[in-house]
């Protein structure tokens, strides 16, 4: 069976809407093979060619002074696309991250990422835990994932946390052993099934074994019970 490659990613930006001029300033990607982290990552900061609003800087701590000497997105676009390949792309509130990456790809004269590749862990969480909080912090707490080192948002750090969360939300590391929670029913999970063996496959057919006690066995059991000395269950009669 071929291995399944998936990419968990996160972005940091100057704001909420690329259509109003907000830009991507950081991206962090984590590679999973068969739902296990390989240790292979992609991480980059980008010069947004604009100012950094104070509200955005308060979230991720990236100042325009820090970003001013970083490369433009277009200068690393080939490296990013090569890393992403054709793998499914998982993100928290994925439409937001896809929107910013696709806006930068358009500026660089490249085609957009196919939205069919998108898997959103917020949507997964809403199905698994309706009515609960679905922020990355809240879900890490729910699944017992240590986030004590997360002082501010950071694309690679958040992608690493999300990788742990995604694995847990899709059944944990025991998914193939039948020990997974209901999270294993999420569409992103690989279903493991055993096909029925056809009657003409060459396997010998055996009649099912009887599992009902015979009359002789029942009689022997009654005789045995009658010979017991003051059985405990008679105390309740």
Q: Would you state the pLDDT for residue 179?
A: 40
Tell me: pLDDT of 11 over 50.
Answer: yes
Domain ranges of the chain: 5-185
> pLDDT by residue (tens digit) across 161-200?
999 999 999 988 654 444 434 434 344 443 333 344 444 4
> pLDDT by residue (tens digit) across 71-102?
999 999 999 999 999 999 999 999 999 999 99
Mean pLDDT value across residues 220-236? 73
Q: Would you state the pLDDT for residue 86?
A: 97
> pLDDT by residue (tens digit) across 123-171?
999 999 999 999 999 999 999 999 887 767 889 999 999 999 999 999 8
Mean pLDDT value across residues 28-40? 97
Task: Give the residue from 110, 150, 208 showing the smallest Cα distance to 28.
Answer: 150
CA atoms within 13 A on the CB side of 176: 3
The pTM of the whole model exceeds 0.85: no
Sign of the alpha-carbon dihedral angle for 157, 162, 167, 171: positive
Residues in the chain: 237
Is residue 70 within 8 Å of 41, Cβ to Cβ?
A: no
Tell me: pLDDT of 31 over 50.
Answer: yes
Q: Would you state the pLDDT for residue 193?
A: 33
pLDDT over 70 for what percent of the chain? Answer: 80
> pLDDT by residue (tens digit) across 96-119?
999 999 999 999 999 999 999 999
Radius of gyration of the chain from its Cα atoms, rounded to whole angstroms: 28
- Reported CATH class of domain 5-185: alpha beta
Indicate the Cα dihedral angle 119, 122, 32, 142, nearest 10°: -160
- Positions marked catalytic: 153
> pLDDT by residue (tens digit) across 35-59?
999 999 999 999 999 999 999 999 9
Which residue do the tokens 């907000």 mark? 22
Rounded CA separation 189/38 (Å): 18
Task: Give the residue from 157, 164, 124, 123 showing the smallest Cα distance to 141.
Answer: 164
């Amino acid at each position: 069976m071929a291995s399944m490659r998936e990419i968990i990613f996160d972005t940091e930006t100057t704001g909420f809407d690329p259509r109003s001029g907000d830009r991507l300033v950081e991206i962090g990607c984590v590679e999973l093979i068969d739902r296990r982290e390989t240790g292979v990552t992609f991480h980059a900061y980008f010069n947004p060619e604009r100012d950094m609003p104070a509200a955005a800087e308060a979230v991720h701590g990236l100042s325009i002074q820090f970003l001013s000497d970083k490369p433009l997105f277009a200068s690393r676009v080939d490296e990013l696309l090569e890393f992403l390949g054709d793998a499914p792309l998982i993100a928290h509130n994925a439409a937001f991250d896809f929107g910013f990456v696709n806006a930068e790809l358009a500026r660089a004269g490249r085609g957009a990422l196919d939205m069919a590749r998108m898997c959103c862990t917020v949507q997964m969480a809403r199905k698994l835990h309706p009515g609960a909080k679905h922020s990355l912090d809240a879900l890490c707490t729910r699944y017992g994932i240590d986030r004590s080192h997360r002082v501010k948002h950071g694309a690679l750090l958040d992608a690493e946390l999300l990788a742990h969360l995604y694995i847990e939300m899709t059944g944990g590391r025991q998914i193939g052993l039948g020990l997974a929670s209901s999270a294993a029913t999420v569409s992103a999970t690989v279903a493991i099934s055993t096909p029925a063996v056809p009657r003409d496959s060459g396997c010998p057919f055996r009649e099912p074994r009887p599992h009902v006690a015979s009359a002789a066995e029942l009689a022997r059991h009654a005789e045995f019970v009658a010979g017991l000395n003051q059985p405990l269950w008679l105390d309740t009669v």
